Structures are given as structure tokens and as C-alpha cells.
Chains A and B, each alone.
Chain A
Amino acid sequence: MVALILVRVVSFAALAYLALPLVVLVGASLTTTSFLAFPPQGLTLAWYGKMLGDPSYVSAFTTSTVLAIAATIVAMLLAVPAAIAIARYRFTGRRLLSETLMSPLILPHVVLGAALLQYGSAIGLVRSFPALLVGHVVIIMPFVLRAVLPQLTDEQRSLEDASADLGARPLTTFFLVTLPQIRSGLVSGAIFAFIASWINVELSIFNTTAELTTIPVKLFNYVQYTIDPTIAAVSGLTIIVAAIVIVLLDLTIGLDVLSERR
């Protein structure tokens, strides 16, 4: 009984802890004062207006979004065939392939970023969109693999075989049989990959410039020197977008990851 009460107390405290910084930033972004204040003094959307009127923020948002979309598409095009090979065929080096493709998940991103910068300067691929893109593809491919692999089950395989026996070409089988069955994995993999790219700092920071920068890197450079309600508005916007994406995810593919009825 005591244990249950303790669990409850810790849990409520932890939930409050999880909500606190997000609530404070969104709150502080609404203040009418010219400094950060929480609780906000007065309510205004002026700081959001200021952010949207600043071309450097708009361009950073655009870069982040275009980069994340491009990286997600490339990562899907590379990861899905690899996932099919790993799930459907037994070949030498299969384990090595899957472990290599997953390893960016556990390697420190600062090390990866430094490696890409050093290597990039040798082959002339630094501080450019393509340099950012290849790095992001490497770190988000594990998210696609992890979401798609469990969906390529063995039961499906007999359907694929049936399709082949009935004379469908491999690509036809892929589009008509395999793809529809792994759709939810593709969707969630793509979303996680997109987000991982969109919020990345450690890797991007090595290849950004004053002109070519992503929103998290721009925030990082700002926050170290100035703190004002515009920064809170930029942060607030990213929090609100994240919350909307998650609620949409919950309503469409279901986010109840902790439910036992799965």
C-alpha cells in the first residue's frame, strides 16, 4: 500500500517535471514584457509576429523543413529495400549489414558530425545542403529500419509467393502485396525520421553557416548569448508543432505504446 502511494507521488511529480519546461516556454512567449517572464505578464502574440517577420528565422525554418523532407525521402528509398533484403533473404553479411545500418543510433552524434566534417573537407563536401543531407540520412535510416523490419513478417511472405506464382513481377508484388501491408510501419518510420532530422543539432552544427542554418542550430547559437521572448516564441512554435503532430499520430496510427492490448 505504501509502495503504491509512493509510486503515485513519484509519477505525478515526474509528469509535472515533464510538462514544466514546455509550459513555461509557451507561457513566456506570450508575455507583453520585453524580457522573459513566467507567469506571462499580459498576453500577446507579438513575439510570434516578430519571429515571422524576421527573414533569418523564416529561412532557418524553411531549411530545416526542406532538409528533413529530403532526408526522410532518401532514407526511405535506401532503408526499405535494405529492410526487405534483411527480412526476406538469408545471406552472408546479413547481420553485419543490419548492425551497421542501426549503429548511428548508438554512436555519439558529435563524433559522427566531426567525422563527416573531416571527411567532407577531404572530398569537398562541407557546409552545404548536400553535406547536411547525407549526414541526416545516415542518422535517420535506423528509425525507418526499426519501424519497417517488424512489419515484414513471415505470413506476408506466403502472400508474396502466391503473387509470384500467379505471374506477378517482383515490382508488382512489392507495390500490390508488400507495400500495403507495411504501410503503418512506413508512416511511423517516416514521421520519426523526419522529427529526428528536424530537431538535430549535434550533427548539423558542423556543416551550417550563417546563411545556411537549421532552426535548432540557430536557436543554439542565439540562446548562448541572448534570451528574449522571440526565442521563447520560436521554441513555443516548435513545441506546439510537436504536440499537434503527436495528437495527429495518436488519432491516426495510435500512440498508446504502453497498452497491453497490442
Chain B
Amino acid sequence: MSRTLRPVVLLCALPAAFFVAFFLAPMVVVLIASLTTPAGQPTFAHYLRILADSYHWDVLWVTFRIGALTTLICVLIGYPLAWYLVRTVRWRPWRRFCVILLVVPLFTSNIVRSFGWMVLLGRNGLVNDGLIGLGLIERPMRFLGTELGILVGLVYILLPFIVLAVGNALAKVDPALEHASADLGATPAGTFRTIFFPLSLPGLMAGAVMVFMLAVSAYVTPALLSGGRITVFSMLIFQQYSSVFDFNYGGALSITMLVLTLALVAIAGRLSEPGRA
């Protein structure tokens, strides 16, 4: 035991101390603040206030609806794209170009990417011009300040996560399985249903959970594309810390959001377990 313990302590002492000091301790401070009054007396008042206020329920509902829709759309677009990139593109330069196109947004700040959509979705933006040009609408539509605008931005930002997760899973499928399936008389659709889809399911679930987490906790994209008209939960938290300065109540909001998202992710993880077998 002590033969293992000494090197482990030597290697881990600093990283562990750093994480205790700047990650665990801050989180504990928030938890304690959420359960105390500004004077330091223990109380559940902040949580009761969240539960009692129907406005918070509305905001939560909007936040989780946007999160769920973002995840759904990302899966519906991302799965075919991953399939296309992994299974059909053979010409290497084009494939490289596509992968670069997928990764460049990941290396660019959310601000820049959301700003791009602010420009595109504006009254006189390219999207409105295009829709009018195609004769689909007569007058410019309002995207900024609507849930649709936020969805367009969030799907854009989170799409690469699904494509990379599914793509990785699809790339690992042994081509021999596909040949075997075809030799045994399965149709391409049958091969997809019985071989590819089940094997890609863990990647798809992992990607979807990641997208959902990031969509529900996103701050920048909704803040920029909502134009102040739609409030999501992270904005409530930010307000408490940056303008109201109620750290106790802000703490309770933070912990609520944390618990809700982690609970949903745990449920999603449990649901996907059978698929792993």
C-alpha cells in the first residue's frame, strides 16, 4: 500500500489541493450561501421563494424547452451529417475540408458565432432577404428576440458535438460487419437498423446529453439572440450576481439549475444503459 501511496501523493497533492481551493470550496460556498440568510442564519427561504414564484417556473420551462428542442434538432441534422462524412465521402480533400468546417466554429468564441447570427437574422439580414427573394414571405420576419432565433443560434453552436460523437462511433464500426450483413441478405435499411444504429447509439446518447447540458446552461447565445425579450435560467443567475448582488438567492438559483440539469442527465444516462449492452 505505502509503495503505491507515496508516488500517488507526490503526483496528486498539488492538483487535488488546487481543485479543492478553486473548485470544490467555491461550490460549497455557493451551497452554504443558498441555505443561509445574509446574516448567516440557516434558512430554506431562498428555495421556497423559487418554488413559490411562478415566473421562475415559466423561465425554467422556456429554458428546458429550448434545451430539448435544440437537442432534437441537433440530432436530426447531426446524425445524417455524421453518416454522410463517415460513410459516403471518399474524396479526401473534400472530407478534410468538411471536418475543418465542422471544427472551426468550435475554436471560435460563442460571442462571435452568435454575433454572426445577429447579423444574419436581423430585419435586413441575409436570411430575411433570402426568404423574401424566394417569395416565401412578403415582409421581413422577426427572428431576434424570438425562441426561433435562439434555437438557430444554439443549434449552430452545438451541432458539431453531435456530429463528432456520432461520427466517432460510426467510424469504429467494423466494415466486415456490414459485408456480413449484406451477404446474409439484409437490405441496406435492415443493416442500418440492426447494425449501425445500435452501435452508434452510445455515441449519439453521449453527444445528445452534452448538447442538452450546454443548451440548458448557455448564457451568451440566448443573451445576444433574445434581444432582452426572452429570459433563460442562466440570465436569472447572472442578474443576481452582477446587478442585484443577492449572493444567497443567486446561490439558490445556481444550485437549483445544477441539480435539475444533473438529474436530467442522470435519467438520460440510465435510459441509454440498455443500448450499451
Secondary structure of the A side of the interface? Answer: helix
The answer to whether A15 and B101 have CB atoms under 8 Å apart is: yes
Interface centre among B23, B88, B95, B120 (most CB of A within 10 A): B23
User: Which residues from chain B contact A90 at a C-beta distance below 8 Å?
Assistant: 4
Interface string of B128-143 (1 = CB under 8 A from A): 0000000000000000
- Count A-B pairs with CB separation below 8 Å: 268
Q: Kindly identify which residue among A84, A100, A202 contacts B24, using a CB–CB cutoff of 8 Å.
A: A100
Interface string of A1-44 (1 = CB under 8 A from B): 00110111011011101111110110010000000101000000
Q: Kindly identify which residue among B8, B80, B107, B220 contacts A202, using a CB–CB cutoff of 8 Å.
A: B220
**A70 to B: closest C-beta gap in Å:** 14
A interface residues, tally (CB under 8 Å)? 91
B100 in contact (CB, < 8 A): yes
**A229 to B: closest C-beta gap in Å:** 11
In the complex, residue of chain B having the shortest beta-carbon distance to the beta carbon of A255: B99
**A241 to B: closest C-beta gap in Å:** 8
Given contacts A85-B12, A246-B100, contact A25 B115 (CB under 8 A): yes
Q: Please report the C-alpha to C-alpha distance between residue A5 and residue B257 in the assembled complex, in whole angstroms.
A: 41
Q: Please report the C-alpha to C-alpha distance between residue A11 and residue B131 in the assembled complex, in whole angstroms.
A: 21
The answer to whether A28 and B224 have CB atoms under 8 Å apart is: no
Interface string of A201-223 (1 = CB under 8 A from B): 11001100000000110011001
B82 in contact (CB, < 8 A): yes
Given contacts A38-B126, A85-B8, A118-B33, contact A10 B171 (CB under 8 A): no
In the complex, residue of chain B having the shortest beta-carbon distance to the beta carbon of A145: B15
User: Which residues from chain A contact B16 at a C-beta distance below 8 Å?
Assistant: 82, 97
A179 in contact (CB, < 8 A): no
**B122 to A: closest C-beta gap in Å:** 9
User: Which residues from chain B contact A117 at a C-beta distance below 8 Å?
Assistant: 241
The answer to whether B238 and A110 have CB atoms under 8 Å apart is: yes
Q: Kindly identify which residue among A78, A120, A219, A246 contacts B111, using a CB–CB cutoff of 8 Å.
A: A219
Q: Kindly identify which residue among B15, B21, B108, B234 contacts A81, using a CB–CB cutoff of 8 Å.
A: B15
User: Which residues from chain B contact A169 at a C-beta distance below 8 Å?
Assistant: none
A243 in contact (CB, < 8 A): yes
Task: Given contacts A18-B160, A106-B262, A258-B164, list 8 more A-B pairs with CB under 8 A.
Answer: A7-B88, A22-B105, A22-B108, A81-B11, A119-B29, A120-B26, A239-B104, A258-B86
Subset of 30 A-B contacts with CB under 8 Å: A6-B80, A7-B83, A11-B84, A14-B77, A14-B159, A15-B81, A17-B77, A18-B102, A25-B115, A25-B119, A38-B126, A108-B261, A111-B258, A112-B26, A114-B254, A118-B26, A118-B251, A119-B25, A119-B30, A122-B29, A135-B22, A138-B22, A199-B108, A219-B115, A220-B220, A223-B115, A224-B224, A238-B108, A256-B99, A260-B175
Chain A interface residues toward B at CB < 8 A: 3-4, 6-8, 10-11, 13-15, 17-22, 24-25, 28, 36, 38, 77-79, 81-82, 84-85, 88-91, 97, 100-101, 103-104, 106-112, 114-120, 122, 134-135, 137-138, 141, 170, 195, 198-202, 205-206, 215-216, 219-220, 223-224, 227, 231-232, 235, 238-239, 242-243, 245-247, 250, 255-260, 262
